[in-house]
Structure 1
Amino acid sequence: MEALAEGELESGTSLNQEVDLGEFESDSDRRAEAIRILKWLKSFDFVFCLHLMIDILGVTDHLNTILQRKDQDIINVMNQVSSSKKAIQEIRDIGWEPLLEKVTLFCAKNEVKVVDLEYEYFNGYSRRRGSQVNNLHHYQVDVFKEVIDMQLQELNHCFNEANTNLFFCIACLCPSESFKAFDLQKIMKMASLYLEEFPTEYDLRVLEVELGNYIKDVREDERFNDLKSIGDLVKKMVEEKKHIIFPKIYLLMKLALILPVATASVERAFSAMKLIKTDIRNKMSDRFLSDSLVSYMEKNVLKGIGNDAIVTMFQDIRPRRVQL
């Protein structure tokens, strides 16, 4: 209006209508959306879920931070996994009343209406006809316990009894504190899982004898005193030619080192597949899918390859009528 009054815009039929109308509709839509979001943020439902996730994420975020650390040993990691499971289970068992109290105090402080837990649950759209579910049942069972059970199920899936025991067995190879974690029986249990590398009872028996000689050797060797991880131990064994003296133990250590990498690679591959093979591109061949997955997963390596090198490679694959 100011631009029209000052002559900066021409007035007339069909002039300025699209801009003015569009801005008005956009502002109106944003205003309505902001009001809707604000109303939701000030609801008891949002406050309750927010406090619940603070309690749960307080446990899982700490565990995630520990799992990300490269200098963390396996024993401490598995102990933290066990502690996290117990902490989440404790929230489920005795955490309802403290959570409800925190939510109620927060609502009172910030002028958020607290729902009556004895009233029938209403989701904001329609009441559940014929249902006897009240607010107490909804928030305690359908939200609180169900969310916690999902977290526990995910942890148990990632760290079930089988792979937890395997990681504890791997930890027995750790050289820290003069091979304090060494446990012959657990290491033999780990070896028995690799049937291709140790297919017979004779192979396991040879490994058991080799382990007995190995632990006496490295504990008496000062060159192995200050090692902290299995990776350091493998390097030192190669440097001192002990991988030749104890070949089966060296093989077992290599298996222990590649296990986390192999597991992570599989997870990365499935994650990448969800991005690459979508509903639109669900008919791509296996070869093209494999090449695309490698390109996606190793994108940091491919960044160092110039376009000219790629063009030259394709040009040299077979004779072409034109130069690429």
Structure 2
Amino acid sequence: MFSSIVDVLDFIREDGLTSEQKGEATGLLDVILSFDFIFNIHLMKAILGVTNELSVALQRKDQDIVNSMKQVEISKKRLQMMRDNGWKNLLEEVSLFCSNHGIKVACMNDMHMLRGRSRRKASEITNLHHYQVDLFYNVIDMQLQELNGRFTETTTELLLCMESLNPSNLFFAFDKIKLVKLARFYPLDFSSVDLLKLDNQLDNYIFDMRSSDDFAYLQAKKLVETNRHIIYPLVYLLIKLVLTLLVATASVERAFSAMNIVKSRLRNKMGDLWMNDCLVTFIERDIFNKVDNELILQCFQNMKSRRGQL
């Protein structure tokens, strides 16, 4: 689509309806017909190609944790291989693309000039240092740091242990050793005596689950309906902790994502109390959208006497 985009922008630059359209098209053409832009989109394409399967696996509703963790390791190794040996191939690919579209290829030995900066204020680095170190290495290191930060050894082990509770295929992933290890992550909920009880209780639990058609798709609600949560209290506690962990993690992620939207550059002096109130209404907007605005106005109107009508 690159050639088509250039043709459309060139048409707008020449025959745009307003001078503003023509100016914007001219600016965009100046950007995308540069080596810097081409290098960045090829680097982005390469990294997204490495992490695509992992991204898809993590977004599926029926998450296969074991295979997802394998994709994490694959992404880490491929990114590291790309960092160690991928620079030459990327540079050749970018240079070939530029040659095919009439774009000047930057000489890696020349001094790098930032767009809009004078030579006197230019940083004393070569194009090779800018594109290889400041962009190529730096972007890949950020990706690796993100994966290592989100999927630490402890986190990976915790997720693999959680997978042992997956009821799919008659509890095919069930592993008693991993479930006992999972319980050790919660020392305040499982004492040393409880761990001994859990070891035996898991044997009875899995035998019961596999011999009952009602638990082909296990839910904590089903355990309660059949009163099995009373028979297997430690297993039920373990399931509740796992389900709570997933909800809590998702809630934290939603809150941090919303914070970047609510507390923007124009509202960076917002106090904590006001920000918390705004975050609640933003995160739970599906609920608040169902509340009639007139009811809210009436509630505030009745709090105290006011000069005007809200």
TM-score by length of 1: 0.79
Structure 1 275/103 Cα, relative in aligned 2: closer, same or farther at 3 Å?
closer
Structure 1 222/307 Cα, relative in aligned 2: closer, same or farther at 3 Å?
closer
**Contact 1:122-1:128 at 8 Å conserved across structures:** no
Structure 1 128/92 Cα, relative in aligned 2: closer, same or farther at 3 Å?
farther
Q: Output the CA distance in 2 between the equivalents of 1:128 and 1:98.
A: 33
- Percent of residue pairs identical: 47
Q: SS of the counterpart of 2:108?
A: coil
Deviation digits for residues 255-292 of structure 1 (CA, Å, limit 9, x no counterpart):
11121210111122233334445664746463x54333
**Contact 1:75-1:168 at 8 Å conserved across structures:** yes
**Contact 1:179-1:219 at 8 Å conserved across structures:** yes
Deviation digits for residues 159-194 of structure 1 (CA, Å, limit 9, x no counterpart):
222211111110011122222212222211211111
1:217 paired residue number? 208
Deviation digits for residues 80-105 of structure 1 (CA, Å, limit 9, x no counterpart):
22222222222222221221121111
Please state how far the C-alpha of 1:314 moved relative to its aligned partner. 4.2
1:60 paired residue number? 51
Please state how far the C-alpha of 1:62 moved relative to its aligned partner. 3.6
Q: Output the CA distance in 2 between the equivalents of 1:53 and 1:285.
A: 36
**Contact 2:57-2:64 at 8 Å conserved across structures:** no
Please state how far the C-alpha of 1:137 moved relative to its aligned partner. 2.5
> Greater shift after overlay, 88-97 or 59-68?
59-68
2:153 to 148, 151, 161: 161
Please state how far the C-alpha of 1:44 moved relative to its aligned partner. 1.0
2:180 to 185, 188, 191: 188
Q: Output the CA distance in 1 between the equivalents of 2:306 and 2:177.
A: 67
1:46 paired residue number? 37
1:243 to 185, 204, 229: 229
**Contact 1:121-1:127 at 8 Å conserved across structures:** no
Q: SS of the counterpart of 1:243?
A: helix
Q: Output the CA distance in 2 between the equivalents of 1:134 and 1:315.
A: 66
Counterpart amino acid of 1:296? F
Task: In structure 1, list runs of 5 or more residues that go unmatched.
Answer: 1-25
2:8 paired residue number? none
Matches within 5 A, 1:1-324: 31-124=22-115, 125-127=117-119, 133-198=125-190, 200-224=191-215, 226-227=216-217, 232-277=218-263, 280=267, 282=269, 284=271, 286=273, 288-314=274-300, 320=305
Counterpart amino acid of 1:241? N
**Contact 1:173-1:182 at 8 Å conserved across structures:** yes
Deviation digits for residues 113-159 of structure 1 (CA, Å, limit 9, x no counterpart):
11222223233424588977322222122211111111111121122
Greater Cα radius of gyration, structure 1 or 2:
1
Please state how far the C-alpha of 1:52 moved relative to its aligned partner. 0.5
Counterpart amino acid of 1:299? R
Number of equivalences: 291
Counterpart amino acid of 1:250? Y
Counterpart amino acid of 2:278? S
Q: Output the CA distance in 1 between the equivalents of 2:157 and 2:177.
A: 12
Structure 1 189/284 Cα, relative in aligned 2: closer, same or farther at 3 Å?
same
Q: Output the CA distance in 1 between the equivalents of 2:31 and 2:267.
A: 35
**Contact 1:47-1:103 at 8 Å conserved across structures:** yes
Higher RCO structure, 1 or 2 (CA under 8 Å, sep 6+): 1
Counterpart amino acid of 1:152? L
Task: In structure 2, list runs of 5 or more residues that go unmatched.
Answer: 1-16
Structure 1 91/281 Cα, relative in aligned 2: closer, same or farther at 3 Å?
closer
1:6 paired residue number? none
Deviation digits for residues 216-240 of structure 1 (CA, Å, limit 9, x no counterpart):
222233433x33xxxx342432333
Deviation digits for residues 241-268 of structure 1 (CA, Å, limit 9, x no counterpart):
2211101101101111121210111122
Structure 1 108/282 Cα, relative in aligned 2: closer, same or farther at 3 Å?
closer
Q: Output the CA distance in 1 between the equivalents of 2:120 and 2:158.
A: 48
Counterpart amino acid of 1:34? A
Structure 1 201/41 Cα, relative in aligned 2: closer, same or farther at 3 Å?
same
2:5 paired residue number? none
